[in-house]
Amino acid sequence: MAAEHNATEYIKHHLAFNQTASGFHLDTFWVGLILGFLFVGIFAMVARKATSGVPGKLQNFVELIVEMVDSQVKDAFHAKSKVIGPLALTIFCWVFVMNAMDFLPVDLLPTIAQAIGHYGFGMAPEDVKLRVVPTADVNQTFALSISVMFCIIGFSIKAKGLGGWIKEVFTAPFHAESIGMKIALLLPNFVMQMVELIAKPISLSLRLFGNMYAGELIFILIALLPWWINWVLGAPWAIFHILIVTLQAFVFMMLTIVYLSLAVEDH
């Protein structure tokens, strides 16, 4: 019973957020912000030091990512936009580095945070909480997907004009010839458009959150096992998780490109 209690407390502690009294998740915000600046800083440094000769390993790696994203944008987005390329690159890289925090040992950063809190601020170790995978927080994934939703609306208005966008909201997907039927279909069309619009950020956020939360939970459960079983199970799962982390970032980017492509096209 004591072991079961300790295991339960261990899981609860690792799944608890460092949050304010109002419920704002400080760890999700700061880890995500730091990783975002880290990604931008590395890419900016490579861009400033880029050479037309034989590239270094880091430049070669960055160019590989940029070319991959650029090819996906060209294949899926058929309109002209100076924003879509940088946006897709930012989404892929930022989501990837946030997902990749799952590769760190489960107790590494929380233990460091507990030591800082205890010796630096006199806090009890059990009161110091830190979750290091921002995308395992549904608030973060919803914030990302809602931002994509606003981009969808913005791209659509820019391509069709405000009047054209409003007209599409009330006249598609159901069309009619007579005035009476057009008026009758205003509400059904509006409801269908809103359902489609709202479903996109919900599916984006929950897909990313579900995969990363499950991966984080599995790593926590593996950490509870004896060290030799931990290594036997942890290493294969970490290798397999590389695919999940990369795939989820790629899927989030691709769906965003596809949604924005659909936003600029007429029904």
What's the CA gap between 18 and 14, in Å, rounded?
Answer: 10
13, pLDDT greater than 70: yes
| Catalytic status, residue 178 | no
131 is catalytic: no
List pLDDT tens digits, range 222-255.
888 887 777 777 788 888 889 999 999 999 999 9
Catalytic residue among 99, 145, 205, 211: 211
Q: Residue 30 is which amino acid?
A: W
Catalytic residue among 81, 147, 207, 230: 207
Please check whether residue 253 is in contact with residue 73, taking contact to mean a CB–CB distance below 8 angstroms. no
Q: Is the pLDDT of residue 4 over 60?
A: no
172-192: pLDDT as tens digits: 888 877 888 888 888 999 999
Q: pLDDT tens across 216-227, in order?
A: 999 988 888 887
Show the tokens assigned to 74: 């060209």
> Residue 122 is which amino acid?
G
Give Cα 240 distance to the centre of its chain.
19
Tokens coding 138: 């549904």
Q: How many domains does the chain have?
A: 1
**Separation of alpha carbons 132 and 104, rounded Å:** 9
Confidence band for 1, pLDDT divided at 50, 70 and 90:
very low
In our burial notation (b when 16+ CB lie closer than 10 A, e otherwise), range 189-210 reads beeebeeebeebbeebbebbbe
Provide, rounded to the nearest whole percent, the portion of the chain with pLDDT above 70.
97
267 pLDDT band (50/70/90 cuts)?
Answer: low
Compare 185 and 36 and report the one with higher pLDDT.
Answer: 36
Long-range contacts of 239-248 (CB under 8 A, 24+ apart): 241/102, 241/103, 241/215, 242/103, 244/99, 244/211, 244/215, 245/96, 245/99, 245/100, 245/102, 245/103, 245/215, 246/96, 246/99, 248/95, 248/99, 248/135, 248/207, 248/208, 248/211, 248/212
Phi and psi for 59 in degrees, rounded to 5?
-65, -40
pLDDT at 45 over 90: yes
pLDDT value for 2: 38
Domain limits at 135? 2-263
Residue with tokens 């290493």: 235
Q: Is 203 labeled as catalytic in the residue annotation?
A: yes
The model's confidence at residue 76, banded by pLDDT at 50, 70 and 90, is very high
> Mean pLDDT throughout 72-100?
94
